[in-house]
Amino acid sequence: MDKIDSVDLKILNLIQENNKITSEVLAKEVGLSSSACQRRINSMRKAGIIQKDVSIIDRNILGRKITIVVQVLSDKEGVEYSEEFKKLMIKAPEVMQCYYVTGDYDYVLIATFVDMEEYELFTQKYFLNNNNIKRFSSMVVMNRVKENLSIPLS
């Protein structure tokens, strides 16, 4: 895919809001045929612009009422240590997002738990028993003011 045009941006805005939108509704919104919209979406998937089609699940209904933001500082620097921790976090089902960051800490995690006991077990498994973790800091989310993964498009 060479270039994203204004029609592609409209399509992306609409499918970010609702990825189950029908081709017919999408076509009416952007002024193309439904098959043209599908071709554009398929091209954007192939180009990696659209990475995933997901469903956002209400974790409160499923009993995962605690969200914790965790800052993690590694003890040792080096590619092998960094890659090892990244692999652990990718496999950890509680971790919804993991960022390698600049600043006072090396990583910021967004994770969800059923209760504080589950979080305590998580910290023991991934931080306290890990020789490469110097320290970590936890912030329990009291209220989700805004939670969105949509990218602002113009």
Q: Write out the chain's pLDDT in tens, 154 residues.
A: 678 999 999 999 999 999 999 999 999 999 999 999 999 999 999 999 999 998 889 999 999 999 999 999 999 888 888 999 999 999 999 999 999 999 999 999 999 999 999 999 999 999 999 999 999 999 999 999 998 888 998 7
For residue 12, the enclosing domain spans 6-46
Q: Tell me the CATH number at 103.
A: 3.30.70.920
Number of structural domains (the chain) is 2
Residue at 54 is within a domain? no
Residue at 97 is within a domain? yes
Residue at 80 is within a domain? yes
Contact 107, 99 (CB under 8 A): yes
The phi, psi pair for 67, rounded to 5°, reads: -115, 130
Residues 85 and 132 reside in one and the same domain: yes
Rounded Cα distance between 2 and 128, Å, is: 48
Residue at 60 is within a domain? no
- The pairing of strands 66-74 and 133-140 is antiparallel
Residues 13 and 77 reside in one and the same domain: no
Residue at 10 is within a domain? yes
* pTM summary value: 0.86
Residue at 128 is within a domain? yes
